[in-house]
Amino acid sequence: MDLTEIWNVLGLEQAWQVELLNTAVQLAVMVLVAWVAYWVARKWVARVVSHVAGRTATTWDDLMFNRHFFNCFALLVAPIVVRVVSDLAGWEHGAWFYKVVNIWTVVAMVLVVSAVLDGANRIYDSYPVSRNRPIKAFVQIVKVFLFCVAFIIGVSVLLEKDPQSLLVGLSAFAAVLMLVFKDTILGFVAGVQLLANKMVTLGDWIVMPSANADGEVLEINLTTVKVQNWDKTISTIPTYKMVSESFTNWRGMKESNGRRIKRSVNIDVQSVHYLSDEELEELKKSDFLRDYITAKLAELKAKYAEANTPLDGQHLTNIGTFREYMEAWIAKNPDVAQDMVHMVRQLQPGPTGIPLEIYCFSARQAWVEYERVQADLFDHLFAVLPLFNLRIFQYPSDSFTVVGK
């Protein structure tokens, strides 16, 4: 007994009533079949495949088969099962049914391919080469192309038109499409330039004031570059801005052996003077200065033996000797990269005194350790300056000390 005979027993003799109930029952059965197929593929098939993948020695299968993949796979299984069951039951449906099933199948196929591409990208990201040459932007380009193809095929199925004729018609809207996908097109070109020229890679520390970005690059995709700032906020920068605007990449510092220290202190000009014999004898006690002072005094004595006044010769100054001391101290400091440039130099004097600049590279690049090395260096500098009878220039303050009687 088929469905028509059942409706006749129930007293439904009009053709439109029978047709309507036939369609409703068949639709309910197809929905139930689709749900069962989706549930089985999403739960049981996923569980079996995940169990097998987890027992293998390789990791690529674990990265490929995640929950998103099985969700997309179940969406593809459902319309295929619906079509098979419908054909086996011999049910005849209207054109709308086959259109829905075909469009559903096309969209599900694109989602499965997209999930496979995401899995391939995760596998690629597990290798060290991915930090210098990420492929996520290219994966997104392929996905955009696939979804465009799926859209064209879906419209052609819905309108029962040849896809080629639709493409000819869409060519008239090329200008509109270019406006709609402007960021995507610019991002694609910029992404190729970023990767080809190695302008920025994952993990790089970049500074881009125009985008309020100062931190590490987390992600480079088709349209944006995500940067996690040091305050843990996330800055999202359009990819094309990374090419059209300037930014600072600290990768070179990370790849080198040190991190630059470049800071100066201002010496009060009035504290600069020639060293007296007593001061020289006191400074000779230092291992860093003993050989320098002895050799320098012998050199100056031989060169200016006939000089009668300080105006006719050259003598050791406290600021010059201090520069030599700091040079020798930095050269022995294990926290300073000795294979890189280091020096202590004077800059152009000004109203605030004589700038004395320390230029060297810390052997410790991590931010906290770098700041500690820099602070230790200048703590020592400030502490030993009075031993050379030098003073730091400082504007007078309105504070005062009360001295008791």
State residue 14's pLDDT score. 47
Contact criterion met (CB below 8 Å) for 272 and 318:
yes
pTM above 0.95? Answer: no
User: How far apart (Å, rounded) are the C-alpha atoms in residues 230 and 205?
Assistant: 10
Four-way CATH pick for 196-254: 3.10.129.10, 1.20.1280.260, 1.10.10.10, 2.30.30.60: 2.30.30.60
Six token digits for residue 39: 């549930």
Listing from the earlier edge strand, what are the strands of the sheet with 224-229?
Answer: 234-238, 224-229, 213-220, 205-208, 248-249
Contact criterion met (CB below 8 Å) for 171 and 220:
no
Low-confidence ranges of the chain (pLDDT < 50): 1, 7, 12, 14, 16, 405
CB-side neighbour CA atoms (13 Å) of 251: 12
The DSSP code sequence of 98-138 is HHHHHHHHHHHHHHHHHHHHHHHHHHHHTSGGGGTS--HHH
State residue 61's pLDDT score. 63
- Long-range contact pairs involving 299-305 (C-beta distance under 8 Å, separation at least 24): none
Q: What are the residue ranges spanned by the domains of the chain?
A: 3-186, 196-254, 258-388
